[in-house]
A and B are shown apart, each in its own frame.
Chain A
């Protein structure tokens, strides 16, 4: 039976702009307006805005909120104070990645978690079932909309002050109050604006008036892949671990979060395979699920608008994961050559 798709508070605006809408994680979302490539290039050159209101938001509060989160999340929460944010992983007891998310420390005893749309319900159940007396987890997703405003001119166009990455503050844009998070998924400067759902339409309109180009999920994917940000469900899953995925940097292995022991073992013995970024030498577009000769697999692939060639992320045997190593991908029965590159695949020169 078809399940009704959820609509963000900006849905009418996407339709009015002529966006092509697609189902994504249970939501009816814009995949593109003008086209993936012009939207991608707008973000690299100037400023684009994405409706990412489908993402989930949880508030975790109470005197034992830190204890609860530190037992569930991989990164070291003590590294951030109020006004700071952190990329972190929700892990299972095998060290697998249930989700990747950003935790915002609102206060000493209060946090906001922004999680992937597809994982909102399982993440919430996971955390809720681990609540301690003195820690309360609430799903507040429906109260908020989230607009990612990204690009070298994003901050200037919004009239916001410069601030360090992974910080946040209350802000007002043309009279609309929001929380301006200096985070994103494009590899560019910019912010993600968390706004009350009822104010989302007005904020979207003001952001467009300020010159941001509306961008869909298509460009969001090509941008994140050029920046080598993993996508949960593709590159990282409950069956892949942070060490193999190159995410050891966000795992505080001296802590006892769920699965930390297993991750220490993997780190000690060295992972059998590693997630690497690669660029195609032959003309071909790699896609998720394609085999890499020698026992590897593509987990994300696309055409890079900036490099004008195929790029991707994939797992390869650890002994074939060094930068420059050639790889052969089975593109629907044809052998196509590429090579491992360093992260990120694309970075704009300042």
Chain B
């Protein structure tokens, strides 16, 4: 079941179509509606392990549809403290609910100030419009 196109206002966005929900010194990461729609039905999530370090602008895992595979780009640096096992088991969860049930990892931020460099919703919508 595909979600309808939305970009929540409370999220920070990365130009590679990833989002971050910042909660104190932690953040939840995922991919945007545009990313899941471009890939199509997701069938595999190659997740990082808890304790892995992720670096802003670098891949931390892969998400794969029937036809294509895409790197997951970290919008922020930190340490993985939780992986969404529901998406590991049922990757199509991301198609149905990319900002809710379809989150990918929770990280503890190593440099919260990095968030200042991320896009707000209006700036990200502009990226989508130009894609």
Question: Chain A interface (Cβ within 8 Å of chain B)?
Answer: 31-32, 35-37, 218, 222, 283-285, 287, 302-303, 305, 310, 332, 334
Q: Quick check: B62 and A303 within 8 Å, CB to CB? A: no
User: Which parts of B25-65 form the interface with A (CB within 8 Å)?
Assistant: 40-41, 43-44, 46, 62, 64
- In the complex the two chains form, what is the Cα distance from A36 to B66 in whole Å? 8
- In the complex the two chains form, what is the Cα distance from A218 to B66 in whole Å? 8
Q: Which residue of B lies closest to A308 (CB)?
A: B43
Q: Which residue of A lies closest to B43 (CB)?
A: A303
Q: Quick check: B69 and A287 within 8 Å, CB to CB? A: yes
- In the complex the two chains form, what is the Cα distance from A303 to B40 in whole Å? 13
A and B contact pairs by CB, cutoff 8 A, 5 listed? A35-B41, A37-B41, A285-B44, A285-B69, A303-B66
Within the complex, what minimum Cβ distance (angstroms) separates A30 from chain B? 13
Q: Quick check: B44 and A284 within 8 Å, CB to CB? A: yes
**Interchain CB contact (< 8 A) of B62 among A31, A310, A332:** A332
Within the complex, what minimum Cβ distance (angstroms) separates B34 from chain A? 14
- In the complex the two chains form, what is the Cα distance from A80 to B66 in whole Å? 38
Within the complex, what minimum Cβ distance (angstroms) separates A62 from chain B? 43
Q: How many B residues face the partner with a CB closer than 8 A?
A: 11
Q: Which residue of B lies closest to A287 (CB)?
A: B69
Q: Quick check: A222 and B66 within 8 Å, CB to CB? A: yes
Q: Quick check: B43 and A285 within 8 Å, CB to CB? A: yes
Which residues of chain B come closer than 8 Å to A35, judged between CB atoms?
A: 2, 40-41
User: Which parts of B49-100 form the interface with A (CB within 8 Å)?
Assistant: 62, 64, 66-67, 69
- In the complex the two chains form, what is the Cα distance from A106 to B67 in whole Å? 38
Q: Quick check: A36 and B44 within 8 Å, CB to CB? A: no
Q: Quick check: A218 and B67 within 8 Å, CB to CB? A: yes
Q: Quick check: A36 and B64 within 8 Å, CB to CB? A: no
Q: Quick check: A36 and B69 within 8 Å, CB to CB? A: no
Q: Quick check: B66 and A37 within 8 Å, CB to CB? A: yes
Within the complex, what minimum Cβ distance (angstroms) separates A19 from chain B? 12
Which residues of chain A come closer than 8 Å to B46, judged between CB atoms?
A: 284, 334
Q: Count chain B CB atoms within 10 A of each CB in A283, A310, A332 and give the residue with the most.
A: A283
Which residues of chain B come closer than 8 Å to A283, judged between CB atoms?
A: 44
